[in-house]
Amino acid sequence: METKPTFKVFSGTKSRYLAEKICLSLGCPLGNLSITHFSDGEFEVCFEESIRGVDVFLVQSTFPNADNLMELLLMIDAAKRASARTINAVIPYFGWARQDRKSKPRVSIAAKLVADMLSVAGITRVITMDLHADQEQGFFNVPVDHLYASTVMLPYVESLHLDNLVIASPDVGGSKRANTYSKYLNCPLVLCNKKREKANEVASMQVIGDVANANVILVDDMVDTAGSITMAAELLKFHGAKSVRAIASHCVMSGPANERVKNSALDEIVFTDSIPYNGGCSKVRQITVADMIAETIRRVLNNESISDQYLI
């Protein structure tokens, strides 16, 4: 009698590259799923194999455009209707996360709305990485395994063997994250204090701390238009930094980001592969988180703790 698989991994369209690497690490095939597109822009999701009684892991980051989120919602709904035992949404990059509060009157809290949509669709667990704000885990009514890119980023930083290392945050809001890195690496922390006129546009910035003759690494959770990170790099170089690198979890890199990074004072900028990058900038490097996610899936299946994976 053929042994039935206890779990299967499936992927949406834009995260297939990462799902394939996760499956390679797990030693399992990627599940067969089809997405049929209609002429009016609608699409239909169909599992092309039985998932009855199976623990299903759906890999899909919800970066723009909204089709990626809609694909994930339809995958969840299809899995629920196909009698999957559990439905685990693996969302390396959770989009809409910057809209996590009412920053002004009469605005939506999109992060909570998306969390509710995923819950209503039928998820039983979320595996995600470096949410914009840790408290967003509370937006979900199911268990959330919140992974940290530091697990792959810190070994990379250590491999550089930089002398006079300084960790920097491109804004005060990221000081907690940067401070954690500086403590682990036992090196100083400096802050860049920025003022915005409007979203995606930095008006001014100042450096708090000494970076003279230092090799600086800027730490952030994501880079969108790259305005903050490149302005911080220019300012750090102006204040005497010997080199400036940046590490960030999510490679959003929209609009003018590629040109800004290419023409910036940054020596390099390192991301995880939570979002695919095809911008062609030679300063951009990606480190895979596939093995980390695969190990988390193993531990979820075996009811083991995931917290001892974390370096910080």
- Residues with catalytic function: 194
SS3 category, 300: helix
With beta carbons less than 8 A apart as the criterion, state whether 212 and 163 touch: no
DSSP string of 262-299, one letter each residue: HTSS-SEEEEESSS------TTEEEE--HHHHHHHHHH
With beta carbons less than 8 A apart as the criterion, state whether 256 and 279 touch: no
With beta carbons less than 8 A apart as the criterion, state whether 193 and 208 touch: yes
The Cα 172–Cα 218 span in angstroms is: 12
For the CA atoms of the chain, what is the radius of gyration? 20
